[in-house]
Amino acid sequence: MIKEKKKILNDPVYGFINMPQGISFELIEHSIFQRLRRIKQLGLTYYVYPGAIHTRFQHTLGASFLMTLALDTLRSKDVNISNKEYQAAQNAILLHDIGHGPFSHSLEHSIIEGISHEDLSLQFMEYLNIHFNGKLETAIQIFKNQYPKKFLHQLVSSQLDVDRLDYLRRDSFFTGVSEGVVGSDRIIKMLNVHDNNLVVDAKGVYSIEKFLIARRLMYWQVYLHKTVVAADQLLIRLLKRAKELAAQKVSLFATPAFEFFLYNTVHLSDLKEKSGIQNYTVLELFAQLDDNDIIASIKTWINHNDYILSYLSKSLINRDLYKIELQKQVFDNKKIKNLKTKLQNDFSLNEEDLKYFLLEGIVSNNAYNPLEGNINILQKNGSLIDIAETSDILQLSILSKTIEKHYLSYPKGE
């Protein structure tokens, strides 16, 4: 009984939730999983929404809770799911974000060049599968969409996966943007399986519409909020500057694991190699990184004698962020030119260093999974129809388009 009790968790979003058992529980207790406690789900978003400091750990447990609800619903509709598959689906969702590093939406390509968090997730899954004597095999198959019952993969990754259902609701909860709330309860009750694919019962169509609209609202109000973009881009430039200095062998304070990735260029194929630090492989070293390393290191850079690094660090840490403009159109060349001249004068910058003071670029809703793949509605007569055709009100083609915005960001007062 005492054991039982251990496994109930208070989640502010769903209330009491049961922790998964057996190997899933062991997985959660592993240090590589526990590390997700130290990685915020939404990076620097808390600079706009102070409550948005929830972690990938919380999100993953939440998604795992929704997975049990979904699997139970499907079973109640006579979908055949063996106990082994049930557990594997659990593990697959527990592992789906395991490759995330600190501030991964911003730093994915800064810390480790050319390696996505999905690549890293797979590397970690294989690593853990060895540790767990091959018991994660089916979970990995599900994750890779190599398992025959495709709907299990779709629960982990698709237009209506439990990942999104949890993160939209959780991000909405912790940011306080209550309009983003998604009726995950009802959507899950409407899930069904048809020809091995995940579908939605006809009665659920309005809930799906609302889910799509809530998601869109969250993009613009949270994920691509202009101040969040300003903070993200500042962080990216800051890391870039640090790597630039590191490449020039300039000394930078950093925690050992972070130092390794600052001073070394790592490729996918290097992950299993020894890092030269203690006995760790590069992958194991990566597993030691979290938000604390980044922030603790940046804080010290405020005192660094490289003016640019110091300036950027100070701006970020003290939330004295750059001003940002965000628009659909390309920015006027003349405007940019004027800004450049002014910045060069005010900060005595050479051409080269301007890029740290005038941040230019494009942001898109890519990172947050636009609508690719469809959502099938199961009609009462047993036929399937795509939501894009059922819904007379939504222009769903819009949702599937990557929306891009141009930004221009520079110190206040310029």
Ranges within 156-175 binding a second copy (CB under 8 A)? 173-175
User: Which residues are CB-contacts of 271 (< 8 A; sequence separation ≥ 6)?
Assistant: 115, 120, 123, 281, 282, 283, 286
CA 109 to chain centre: 13
Nearest approach, Cβ of residue 212 and a second copy (Å): 8
Contact status: 134 vs a second copy (CB under 8 A): no
Residue ranges in 168-227 that form contacts with a second copy under rule CB under 8 A: 173-179, 181, 183, 185-186, 189, 203, 206-207, 209-210, 213-214, 216-217, 220-221
- In the complex, minimum distance from the CB of residue 138 to a second copy, in angstroms, rounded to a whole number: 26
Which alpha helices (H) appear in 144-290, and where do they start and end? 150-156, 162-175, 184-190, 205-218, 226-247, 256-263, 282-286
In angstroms, give the least distance from the CB of 269 to a second copy.
25
Write out the binding residues for a second copy, residues 40-59 only, by CB under 8 A.
46, 49-51, 53-55, 57-58
Please identify which residue in 113, 265, 398, 404 interacts with a second copy, judged by CB under 8 A: 398
x-or-dash pattern for a second copy, window 231-270, by CB under 8 A?
----------------------x-xxx-------------
- Of 68, 64, 54, the closest CA to residue 27 belongs to 64
Q: Which is nearer to a second copy, 273 or 320 (CB)?
A: 320
SS3 201: strand
Closest distance of CB 311 from a second copy, Å: 14
In 240-356, the DSSP E strands lie at 323-327
Q: How far apart are CA 199 and CA 107, in angstroms?
A: 35
Question: Burial level of 392, CB count in 10 A (0-12/13-18/19+)?
Answer: exposed
Residue 29 DSSP one-character state? H
CA distance 188 to 169: 13
The two tokens of residue 365 are: 């809703």
Select 122 or 377, whichever has its Cβ closest to a second copy: 377
Shortest separation between residue 93's beta carbon and a second copy, angstroms: 16
Give dist(CA 81, CA 152) in Å, integer: 9
Region 281-300 residues binding a second copy, contact defined as CB under 8 A: 288, 290-293, 295-297, 299-300
Q: Which residue number, 249 or 412, has a Cβ lying nearer to a second copy?
A: 412
96 to 115, contacts with a second copy by CB under 8 A? none
CA atoms within 13 A on the CB side of 20: 28
Query: Which one, of 301, 305, 229, lies nearest residue 259 by Cα?
Result: 301
| One residue of 146, 196, 341, 395 binding a second copy per CB under 8 A | 395
User: Residue 313 CB, nearest distance to a second copy (Å)?
Assistant: 12
